[in-house]
Chain A
Amino acid sequence: MKAVILGGTKGMGRALARRLVEGGHHVFLLGRHEEDLARSVADLSVRGAEGASQVGSAPCDLEDPETFTGALDAADTALGGFDTVIVTAGLFAVQARLEADAELARRVLTVNFANTVVFCEAARKRLLSRGGGTLCVFSSVAGDRGRKPVAIYGASKAGLSHYLESLDHKFRGEGLVTVCVKPGFVKTGMTAGLSPPPFAGTPEAVAAAVLTAIEKRKPLIYTPSAWRWVMWVIRCLPRFVMRRIGF
């Protein structure tokens, strides 16, 4: 596998990148901070030493769509054409802060939805031009239903999930597999301020599940897998019940 990862320096993306290089795959990291990328490249290079995988990086900022083309060009050159694109990057903030700070709300909506879609479109075209591949994008269980505690963040992820589903319907026949990952609560730096619910996942467990999903060409996975049933129940709840509960 020749994988490009946007967001591979932190959290679930970091765990996924590590698993990939330990499996001998080639990995190219995209991210905002050059020094952070360099440190992650060093880490992955040592970890991947046995599988002789190749690791590289280029700057790319999900807040700045002008960086997308250059970043994907760099990945293409370094890997000699990639077959997998993984997006784990995203912006999270708690609802109270988003309500108080309109600029932050705009950023969350733009980064998680609009810009991620623009990035996926660019990646999709390159993959399809070579006959297909895999586009694996991290959405969230927060987008499955309109919920009080994640009104804005959830909306951004709902839009993204919707786009990814459409993409999979449209292009699977042409060889492009879209994998939408919906993590539930996972213990990362992003969620370190929140108290973990039961069956909170670890980045390592998520990475393992995501790799299996990519191999099996699954269009949608919930991880930790218990969330699949939790969200099934939540999706079934009538509106008047949803309105009363704080979930």
Chain B
Amino acid sequence: MTNQKGSSSSDEQMDKELFDTISAINNGLDKLDSMDTYVPDDKWFEQMVLNQQEVQKKKYRRELAWFILSAMLILSGVIFTMLELPMLFFMLQAATVAITAIYSYKGVQKQVGSR
């Protein structure tokens, strides 16, 4: 019983100390909060958003251009080999299937191994 009382009073003391610590932290942070913060005007925010939207549009156009270019290169390569070098076309097809299968199998093996 004495032990229980002793431990419960030390727990209370600990709780009280933690509560005081939280209070001290909050009081300090309140002082930070009470400081004035410079807020730019609406024009600045609007300009910032417009600039960011412009950056995004450029990025989107660049990515789309790269995608179309890559697609055209791949398609023209495929069509060329299919029409001019059918043997090479079938070998490439087989190699692609084999590489995909091996890569997938190794991925599954790695996952099983990590468990």
**Do A and B interact?**
no
Chain A residues at the B interface, C-beta cutoff of 8 Å: none
